[in-house]
Chains A and B, each alone.
Chain A
Amino acid sequence: MDVLVILIPASLGLGAIGLLAFYWTMRSRQYEDPDGDAARILRTDYDDAPPNG
């Protein structure tokens, strides 16, 4: 059972990374314009001015 010492923090850590990533996407307003973002990624011009939270 010694392996739990590594596995449990590892699994919680991975989950926490996901949670932080979600927090970041919320803070930087990445859900403001889902349709627009889907379209923008297909353009060839570089989006030099992404929205900022």
Chain B
Amino acid sequence: MSVTEHPGAAACPGCVASPASLPRQNGGLYDGAIQISLPTIHCAGCISTIERGLSVQSDIEDVRINLTRKRASVWAKEGVSADDVAARISALGYEAQPLDTATLTAQDSDRAARDLAMRLGVAGFAMMNVMLLSVAVWSGASDATRDLFHWLSAAIALPTVTFSAQPFFKSAWRAVSAARLNMDVPISLAILLAAGMSLYETINHGEHAYFDAALSLTFFLLGGRYLDQRMRSNARSAAAELAALEAPTALKVMADGTTKTIETKTVEIGDVLLVQPGGKVPVDGVITEGSTELNRAFLTGETDPILAGPGDMVRAGEINLTGAVRLRADAVGHDTLLHGLSDLIAVAETAKSKYNSLADQAARIYAPAVHLLAFIAFALWLYLTAGDVRIALNVAVAVLIITCPCALGLAVPAVSTVASGRLYKKGLLLKHGTALERMAEIEEVFFDKTGTLTAGAPRLMNAGLYSENALGVASALAAASGHPRSQAIVAAAAEQGTVPVRIEDIHEVPGYGVEGRWQGKLVRLGRGSWAGAGDIADGSWLAVEGEPVVRFEFEDVLRPGAEALVKELQGAGVPVTILSGDSQEAVKRIADALGVDDWIGSMLPDEKVAVLEERKHAGRKVLMVGDGLNDTAALATAHVSIAPASALEATRVAADAVLVSRELDRVWDMFVTARSARRRILENFSVAAIYNAIAIPLAFSGIATPLMAAIAMSTSSIIVSVNALRTR
């Protein structure tokens, strides 16, 4: 924990000066609050520093930090924007990014989780009390005492079952009314029959009552349901947070020439928009004024920027690098190229939801088998006892209870919760419920290059070979530009210890480069044709008046962990292929650096999809890792897909998992965890199978007692949960 001073209340006027009437106490927890993401906070010191630092400011009414979500809710006076608050938190020394509150809609799933937790709590309370009462019966209470305990159990169990088991009843009813069978049908039947049968036995002074079994069934299965729900709501809220980080806005040029920030979805066709250097193009359109260079990597995979001037088409999502341009919107919202892909994604989603998960497979065998067994037991005992419905029903209920899938219901959620928790800590967000299972099956991996294997930022090659003067002039010029290559030159110069020279009259010529005067001579850094090196597009050139031009070459930097990941995969016998839209030369360089033999360059998005389709038809299960819009369709086609968090939202939506961490080798962790999780799930199923193999004959022969049911059910549930914790 960091050492921060903790002055008392007197030194913290803001803490004392915010008494009862806090805004958050008037409405819901998040009503009207500005939400700020704080990815770096980790301790009590961080909480104190930020809460105190903000609350002393006069226009901030209240602050509350949530360390679990790494997020701050700030209630401010009117006129304070989320950006202002984020800037103030940054001034306190913490990374802060405003979140778009409209995008954060985690509250609904929160309520569902709370609702389940409440039902779980009630079931737990009732189960423990009824167990206690049952101990008396098991240890031999008889006659009036047994009846008393049975009646007490009934008084606790019946209302609890009505309340706590509702989720099962509802789901089972939905399935039955659609003429299907799911896991919840035998569960509901067992709970209802157990409760009803026990009530009947109690009324008739019977010996066996299964109230405790009905309750522990409800409790254990609700536990599994709760884990499942929490895992999914965590994933959803984390995904929503990623989306909320980049609230889409556009700068609209009004009739009087001023600009106004508006939401991208309110842009209309014909609107004139201003795109600043460093900004993303919000909608498809045509440039009307100004020229610039655009980074189109997300669309094509090319790392080299593209020159664009008046009359040129631009696409939503492209990044403006050098000059401010005005554009006229000609396709907005769902007509943009970006949204054109969403149909494709939807198709792939339905294909993925058809994936037959292990739990589904188990349920498909299980549900009919249980009903059949219970029915056979009933019929058999009816025949054996010459028509004694009470005994026959008792045996049938025992079969239903004993076979009921406590272990089965916990087997998958417990393992998935442990695995996705581990992966989340490592910076991997699982978005799809079956992503982990599909990941465990992969046989081949395909990577996109730009932005996935590479960091997407260029690095100056051979920085040490340039003369002191050339690098000094270049870095002084480059410092004036936001172009990624300029930044690479500045970084390389600083690394070499070169001091930038003094250059006067420095200015950027959008789309071409930067020029200025050094010791009276004209100096230019930029495109070859502009600097006077002829019509060579590749690289950047430095021209000093009266001296030969100098060429600066750049290479892509590998993403950290890329090499390790490729090595691990190849070591595990998983073939690796690079599919890229970039030039053959650039792809070859990266492939060689990584030791990958299979690579294809200059690919169009359709070709990427075609390659994946072909592998799919060949029966191979493929993992695709990519970030570009040109990968989106390919991601949707692959058996399982991962996108880095830097990808566009459309791409992240298409992917099954999002890599939040910068380190690419986390993908290997996911692979290892997925295989381990799959093994644990299968082990859990075998535990359940063994348990059933022992218990069913006992129940069938009519010698099962409520005590045996209670012991068997608890033991198998505990074994399964503990086994889940072994997931790596």
Contacts and interface: CB of A to CB of B under 8 A. Distances in A.
Q: Do A and B come from one complex?
A: yes
Interface of A: 1, 4, 8, 11-12, 15-16, 18-19, 22-23, 26, 29, 31-36, 39-40, 42-46, 48-49, 51-53
The 7 tightest CB contacts between A and B, nearest first, are: A36-B67, A39-B44, A44-B6, A19-B125, A35-B67, A35-B68, A33-B66
A10 to B, nearest CB: 12
B47 A26 contact: no
Interface in B101-146: 114, 117-118, 121-122, 125, 128-129, 132-133, 145
Contact of B117 (A19, A26, A46): A26
B210 to A, nearest CB: 20
A32 to B, nearest CB: 7
B446 to A, nearest CB: 37
A29 B29 contact: yes
A8 B476 CA distance: 85
B216 to A, nearest CB: 15
Interface in B396-420: none
Given A19-B122, A33-B67, A45 B152 contact: no
B62 A22 contact: no
A23 B118 contact: yes
Interface stretch (B11-19, B499-507, B575-583, B624-632): B11-19
A43 B48 contact: yes
Contacts of A33: 66-69
B8 interface: yes
Given A15-B125, A18-B125, 10 more contacts: A11-B129, A22-B121, A26-B118, A32-B68, A33-B68, A36-B67, A39-B43, A45-B9, A45-B15, A51-B24
Nearest to A46: B9
B110 to A, nearest CB: 8
Contact of B15 (A11, A35, A48, A51): A48
A51 B47 CA distance: 14
A46 to B, nearest CB: 6
Contacts of A19: 121-122, 125
Nearest to B4: A43
Contacts of A43: 6, 44, 47-48
11 contacts: A19-B122, A29-B29, A32-B66, A33-B66, A33-B69, A36-B67, A39-B44, A39-B67, A40-B44, A44-B6, A48-B18
Contact residues of B: prevailing secondary structure: helix
Given A39-B43, A43-B6, A8 B121 contact: no
B162 interface: no
Nearest to B73: A51
B25 interface: yes
B15 A46 contact: yes
B7 interface: yes
B64 interface: yes
Contacts of B15: 45-46, 48-49
Nearest to B5: A44
A36 B66 CA distance: 6
A39 B29 contact: no
Query: Which of B29, B44, B122, B128 has the most C-beta atoms of chain A within 10 angstroms of its own C-beta?
Result: B44
B718 interface: no
A13 B418 CA distance: 35
B286 interface: no
A49 B61 CA distance: 12
A36 B47 contact: yes
A45 B132 contact: no
Contacts of A35: 67-68
Nearest to B141: A1
Given A22-B121, A39-B47, A49 B129 contact: no
Contact of A51 (B12, B64, B122, B133): B64
Contacts of B132: 11
Contacts of A4: 148
B65 A36 contact: yes
B68 A34 contact: yes
B114 to A, nearest CB: 6
Contacts of A12: 129, 156
A26 B122 CA distance: 12
A5 B281 CA distance: 77
Residue among B29, B129, B148 with the highest chain A CB neighbour number at 10 A:
B129
Interface in B466-508: none
Contacts of A32: 29, 66, 68
A13 to B, nearest CB: 10
Contacts of A39: 43-44, 47, 67
A44 B6 CA distance: 6
A51 B25 CA distance: 8
A27 to B, nearest CB: 9
Nearest to B66: A33
Nearest to B113: A31
B64 A45 contact: no
A49 to B, nearest CB: 6
Contact of A49 (B64, B68, B152): B64
Contacts of B114: 26, 31
A16 B6 CA distance: 40
B22 interface: yes
Interface centre among A26, A48, A53 (most CB of B within 10 A): A48
Nearest to B19: A48
A51 B29 contact: yes
Contact of A45 (B7, B145, B148): B7
A53 B127 CA distance: 28
A1 B141 CA distance: 11
A42 B62 CA distance: 21
Contacts of A44: 6, 8
